[in-house]
Structure 1
Amino acid sequence: MGPAPDVLLGELFAGCPDLLFIASPEGALLHRSGGLREVLGPGLDGGALLADVAHPDDRAALSAAFSALLETGEPASFDVRLRDGGGSYRRLSCSARRSSDRNAVLGSLRPAPEVTEEEELKTLRLKARILDGLVEHVEPLVVWALDGDGGYLYHEGRSLSKFGMKPGEHVGRNVTDVYGTGPEFAAQVRQWYDGQVRRGHGEAHGADWDNWLIPLRSEPGGRVDGVLGVALDVSESRVVEKELRVQLDQIAAQQKVIRDLSTPIIEVWDGVLTLPMVGTVDSVRTAEVMDSLLTKIVEKQARYAILDLTGVEVVDTKVASHLIELLTAIRLLGADGIVAGIKPTVAQTMVALGLDLSQLNTQRNLRAALNHAIRAMAREQGASAPGAPPAGGPAPARAPRP
């Protein structure tokens, strides 16, 4: 009786020179053929992820390919660069399918077709045409490139002439010679080579620039040996932005003046403040009124505050509730609030709230409210206030202080 079939299959898989693998749905390598182990090295034994040896730029595509394979169940083919035992990346074509029990991915790898020199040259020419089109026709754009020591390799852009420069003017010069040799700037330049893509704002040649700094590598995964710079002149948009900000500030200031004028707090008598409200009364305006009036009551040590609603046609239930709260706050400060000139529609709204209005002091109009306040103060003082109108007489709109 010979070896068990599983043993024979294991020996066949281990000795197979083809690049075969069995992976989990997450991409962990469960089994590798002898050929694949020889290519990738022994470091992937023990369920390591295939993504661990994939090129960083290919990992997202590899993950997407595995997800699509498991979701659709259809065989998939894709290219991926994998790091071999020597540390170099090999471009491989992968064919994979889902196992019948849906718990594994069965795949094979083979060297990807090499790109011919003619195809590479064609691609390079296309990239050069694209770059030339950008720097020649996009006016606010400047593109430059530095070598590993900070020397200019490329310096082009249609807007260079706007600042008195010629295309390629900085080529052959060092960036520190152009923009400063100080230790602070030199340290900043060294940071450009740490492999991070940077974006920032700066000023140069009397203009505002949005800058992108992109690390360059001679080969994928290699060390950074250059920096690509893309600068966009945003001076005009900055000017527009500043003008717009000034306009918005002016509008905000005008709105404040309008609000202040629409809700003036007037001291019509010694100890009596009146607040005539006109137009639309919303929640924001009511809150501002509350803050201003309460502050004024404390400042003037007022005894009465009259809310004149003669010019208010409509309020919503929320605003009516705020007005009741305002009158309560006035009472807490030791003053009395009087509401004058309530329109029928406003009265209906306040009644509909179901609030306790028994303590609400209302008068028909401002004249009646002022007369009531002056008489009440006179009674409190035990005598008529100097300059106060006689009982039943009219109250002047503006009376002298005693």
Structure 2
Amino acid sequence: MESAPDALLGDLFARSPDLLFVASAEGALLHPSGGLREALGAGAEIGARLADLAHPDDREALAAAWAAVLQGDEPVSFGVRLRDGSGAYRRLSCSASRASDGSAVLGSLRAAPENAGEEQAKLRLKARILDAIAEHMESVAFWSTDRDGLCHYHAGKALAKAGLKPGEFVGLNLLDLFGSVPEFAGAREQWFDGTVRHFSNHSHGLEWDNWIIPLRDDSSALVEGMIGLSLDVTDSRRAENELRVQLDQIAAQQKVIRDLSTPIIEVWDGVLTLPMVGTVDSVRTAEVMDSLLSQVVEKRARFAILDLTGVEVVDTRVASHLIQLVTAIRLLGADGIVAGIKPNVAQTMVALGLDLSQLNTQRNLRAALTYAIRSMSLAQDASRAASPAPTRDPAP
């Protein structure tokens, strides 16, 4: 006859909605609870073996977990898929421990999320990715803190460049340790507002680009800590500075070359000449226009000679610019002369359809200079002739 305590225990198992079981050391069910019977149906009868109910892919893992239960005194947790009455497999999480006399196993089951395995796999993958980056990326360092600034993660291959060891800051308060760094000065009040921050600084003899990223609680929007990503940019900054110096040198050299390629020479008092050689493009013509007009004003020149003897080719835009330049010289009160035009250049200028009747052209530089000097001499003679002769006082 069953004793009262045994009857009560059996009644408890029969009425319990939880998924409980007592199984033999071999894995046969001795006392399945009412909740387990309801969940698994006919499969959860007394004498049924858990290994037979388990998914074929889970049986090896179940056997290993069961052996661990029988060999130890602490509870063992593991996941397993068990077949229910409809033949479908349900994903369950099991916690089991060995009875004090070793003759049975006491366990409880609970429903596991359908995607629990996938989530764990994703978490493991993320951890492996982070470890791989920290281990192999030469210029990267990671750190993280809680809301109080206590560091609980510190890794990255770039730490060796700074003379630090992975984990050296773990257990230290970074907000106190780097309190003198301007970007850390208002960290307690500013960093935990949920904003991602980026700044650069110099530390441990290196240049760093830093990102401060809020770490939020999964169940709320509360920022529970900070993640820091520091990138060593010392080499790239040095390369940028060297490149900037080189570009400045190239720009200075180009200016010297342009100045030498388009020298403005005062060949006579009041006469400027600009010999142009090679290919003349729109950019060069614009620079010439600015320089020549400035010199006309500065030197108070009467004539400006554009010597195109060394120019083989010009495009239609350049030809138009040259005509505009001569017009601008005339507006400044000087006379613009174009000398040494080659036949193909002349054809290009005619093809524009522009009015060339006012364009003063000469065969070569010598002819242009002769024309300028003669014109200035005639102007001086005419000025003297127009001036009245000085009067003389009558003799006493």
- Shorter-normalised TM-score: what interval? 0.5 to 0.7
In 2, distance between residues paired with 1:216 and 1:173? 18
Deviations 1:113-155 (A, max 9, x none): 4544x66554433332222111111111100001011111111
Q: Matched residues in 2 for 1:195 and 1:245: separation?
A: 37
> What CA distance in whole angstroms lies between the structure 1 residues aligned with 2:114 and 2:378?
107
Aligned partner of 1:304 in structure 2 is: 303
Q: Distance in 1 between matches of 2:351 and 2:131?
A: 73
Question: Which residue of 2 is the match for residue 153 of structure 1?
Answer: 152
Q: Deviations over 1:320-367 (max 9, x none)?
A: 000000000000000001110000000001111111111111111101
Whether 2:367 is the aligned partner of 1:374: answer no
Match of 1:166 in 2: 165
- CA contact under 8 A between 1:200 and 1:210: conserved in structure 2? yes
Counterpart residue type for residue 372 of structure 1 = Y
Q: Which residue of 2 aligns with 1:175?
A: 174
Match of 1:38 in 2: none
Cα distance in 1, alignment partners of residues 227 and 183 from structure 2: 21
> Once the two structures are superposed, what CA deviation does each residue of 1:54-109 show, in whole Å capped at 9, x if it has no partner?
xxxxxxxxxxxxxxxxxxxxxxxxxxxxxxxxxxxxxxxxxxxxxxxxxxxxxxxx
Secondary structure of 2:241 counterpart:
helix
Query: Cα distance, 1:195 vs. partner?
Result: 0.8
> Comparing 270-279 with 191-200, which one deviates more in the overlay?
191-200
- Specify the alignment match of 1:257 in structure 2: 256
In the alignment, is residue 318 of structure 1 matched against residue 317 of structure 2? yes
The answer for the alignment partner of 1:195 in structure 2 is: 194
Say what the alpha-carbon RMSD is for the aligned residues. Answer: 2.3
Q: How far, CA to CA, are the matches of 2:161 and 2:332 in structure 1?
A: 67
**1:329 maps to 2:325:** no
Larger Rg: 2
SS in 2 for 1:173: coil
Matched, 1:240 2:239: yes
The percent of aligned pairs where both chains have the same amino acid is 70
What is the identity, as a one-letter code, of the residue corresponding to 1:156? A
Cα 1:253–1:220 change in 2 (3 A) is farther
Matched residue of 2:275: which SS? strand
How much does 1:208 deviate?
A: 1.4
SS in 2 for 1:163: coil
Per-residue deviation, residues 280-318 of structure 1 (Å, max 9, x unmatched): 111111111000000000000000000000000010111
Q: Normalized against structure 2, the TM-score is what?
A: 0.65
After superposition, what is the alpha-carbon deviation per residue over 1:145-194, rounded to whole angstroms, capped at 9, x for unaligned?
01011111111111212211111111111123321258973314432211
Residue 267 (str. 1) matches residue 266 (str. 2): yes
Shift of 1:252: 1.2
The residue type equivalent to 2:218 in the other structure is E
CA distance in 1, matches of 2:358, 2:182: 76
Letter in 1 for 2:241: K
Aligned residues: 274
1:359 pairs with 2:358: yes
Secondary structure of residue in 2 paired with 1:193: helix
Distance 1:183 1:352 in 2: 67
- Which residue pairs with 1:228 in the alignment? 227
1:1-400 matches, cutoff 5 A = 113-116=113-116, 121-181=120-180, 185-382=184-381
For 2:182 and 2:234, the matched residues in 1 are separated by: 28
Amino acid at match of 2:315: D
* Structure 2 residues not aligned, in runs of 5+: 1-110, 385-396
SS at the partner of 1:313?
strand
Other structure's SS at 2:193 match: coil
Q: 1:202 to 1:220 in 2, by over 3 A?
A: farther
Contact residue 340 and residue 362 of structure 1 kept, 8 A: yes
* Post-superposition CA distance 1:29-67 (Å, at most 9, x none): xxxxxxxxxxxxxxxxxxxxxxxxxxxxxxxxxxxxxxx
Preserved CA contact (<8 Å) 1:378 1:384: no
